[in-house]
């Protein structure tokens, strides 16, 4: 068997390249300030000596792991989250961070998961799923590990939150349906314990109440099949709805397929359907879904900047920010007079809460 090769040190690389040891460190740190000619000399010397930086050793000396923990759910059931995960990972990597991913089920207790992150000395945690207890949030704060919530809000948690204005999104959907002359409407909820679904339902209800209407509610469990089944139940009611608003797009697509193929309903002539998120599938010609578009890019940029700022300056207080989405008008819902498919009604606005 071959003998194990002795590890080359950064000091040896610096000597061969004719630079300082700190220059070697900067050369291998993404985003660090260093002349390109110096970087090339360091890389040439490193290749010649077979040098590979040791991230673990570096974290011991800097007290930073350069690891961000991300908790995500619904990766296989909702196309919205793979898109978010891809964008988040790229943003963190561009800022010199590594990502540790935990995929959870919607009903998993985060208080059991977060201690595992802390074992790996993550610098910060970004949550896109489930519920965070105030006790665990305060424990992370005590340990100096900031938490940022993406597309989630938790009252009284010591964490930042960057979220679409779900309440206003629900109102926008209701206004479009009311202006289009609908009288019997339904809401397909995601779950009874998720802030996004509850807030979208709240805004929808509040706007309908102005017109003396109360929506019929069914549960879709944030899944295609759950919403497909919910649509079939709704169509069997004595007064079946002439419009359905869904808490996300994948459920709206399930409703559309149920209406067209199982219930033989014409969309939007007999039933209008509106979703929430604007996932890529929403624009497919077979669905052409009217939906509320989440301002993903703005939310991601804000969440990443906030978490890294709080890692680097632990005196920065957590912030809560709502960003209004846009109504994307396609052909799955009846439209008011004077409005045609293909428009985006923009109400984009950012506000602190």
Kindly report, residue by residue over 233-258, the tens digit of the pLDDT. 999 999 999 999 999 999 999 999 99
**Is the full-model pTM beyond 0.85?**
no
Tell me whether domains 67-164+296-323 and 166-294+326-352 share a fold: yes
pLDDT in tens, 146-177: 889 898 877 666 788 899 999 999 999 999 99
Give the per-residue pLDDT at 156.
65
- Taking a C-beta distance cutoff of 8 angstroms, is the pair 247, 188 a contact? yes
CATH class belonging to 10-53: mainly alpha
Give the per-residue pLDDT at 3.
43
Question: Where do the structural domains in the chain lie, given as residue ranges?
Answer: 10-53, 67-164+296-323, 166-294+326-352
Residues of the chain with pLDDT under 50: 1-5, 60, 62, 353
Beta strands in the chain (DSSP E): 67-73, 98-104, 124-127, 147-150, 160-164, 185-189, 216-219, 243-246, 272-277, 290-293, 320-323, 326-328, 344-346, 350-352
Assigned token pair, 270 = 């007999």
Give the per-residue pLDDT at 50.
81
Question: Rounded distance, CA 23 to CA 8, Å?
Answer: 16
- Taking a C-beta distance cutoff of 8 angstroms, is the pair 150, 299 a contact? yes
Which residues are CB-neighbours of 214 under 8 A, at least 6 positions away? 205, 208
At the second CATH level, the architecture of 166-294+326-352 is 3-Layer(aba) Sandwich (3.40)
Q: Does domain 67-164+296-323 have CATH number 3.30.200.20?
A: no
Residue in the structure block whose two tokens are 């459920």:
251
Question: Rounded distance, CA 179 to CA 198, Å?
Answer: 24
Question: Rounded distance, CA 259 to CA 253, Å?
Answer: 10
Give the per-residue pLDDT at 213.
96
Question: Rounded distance, CA 224 to CA 115, Å?
Answer: 33
Give the per-residue pLDDT at 54.
60
Give the per-residue pLDDT at 118.
72
Give the per-residue pLDDT at 250.
96
Helix (H, G, I), strand (E, B) or coil at 128: coil
């Amino acid at each position: 068997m071959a003998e194990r090769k002795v590890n080359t040190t950064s000091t040896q690389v610096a000597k061969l390249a004719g630079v300082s040891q700190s220059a070697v460190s900067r050369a291998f740190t993404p985003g660090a300030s260093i002349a390109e000619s110096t970087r090339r000399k360091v890389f040439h010397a490193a290749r010649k000596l077979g040098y590979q930086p040791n991230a673990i050793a570096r974290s011991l000396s800097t007290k930073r792991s350069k690891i961000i923990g991300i908790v995500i759910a619904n990766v296989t059931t909702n196309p919205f989250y793979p898109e978010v995960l891809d964008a988040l990972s790229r943003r963190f990597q561009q800022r010199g961070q590594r990502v540790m991913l935990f995929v959870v089920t919607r009903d998993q207790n985060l208080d059991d998961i977060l201690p595992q992150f802390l074992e790996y000395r993550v610098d910060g945690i970004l949550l896109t799923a489930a519920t965070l207890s105030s006790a665990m949030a305060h424990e992370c704060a005590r340990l100096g590990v900031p938490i940022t919530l993406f597309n989630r809000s938790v009252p009284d948690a010591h964490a930042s939150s960057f979220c679409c204005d779900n309440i206003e999104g629900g109102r926008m959907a209701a206004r479009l349906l009311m202006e289009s002359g609908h009288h019997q409407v339904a809401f397909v909820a995601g779950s009874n314990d998720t802030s996004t679904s509850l807030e979208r339902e709240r805004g929808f209800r509040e706007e309908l109440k102005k017109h003396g209407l109360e929506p019929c509610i069914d549960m879709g469990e944030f899944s295609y099949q759950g919403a497909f089944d919910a649509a079939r139940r709704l169509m069997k009611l004595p007064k079946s709805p002439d419009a359905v608003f869904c808490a996300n797009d994948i459920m709206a697509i399930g409703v559309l397929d149920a209406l067209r193929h199982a219930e033989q309903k014409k969309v939007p002539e007999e039933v209008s359907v509106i979703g929430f998120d604007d996932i890529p599938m929403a624009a497919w010609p077979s669905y052409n879904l009217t939906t509320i578009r989440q301002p993903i890019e703005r939310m991601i940029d804000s969440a990443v900047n906030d978490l890294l700022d709080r890692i680097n300056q632990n005196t920065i207080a957590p912030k809560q920010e709502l960003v209004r989405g846009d109504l994307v008008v396609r052909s799955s819902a009846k439209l008011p007079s004077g409005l045609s498919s293909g428009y985006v009604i923009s109400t984009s606005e950012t506000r602190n809460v």
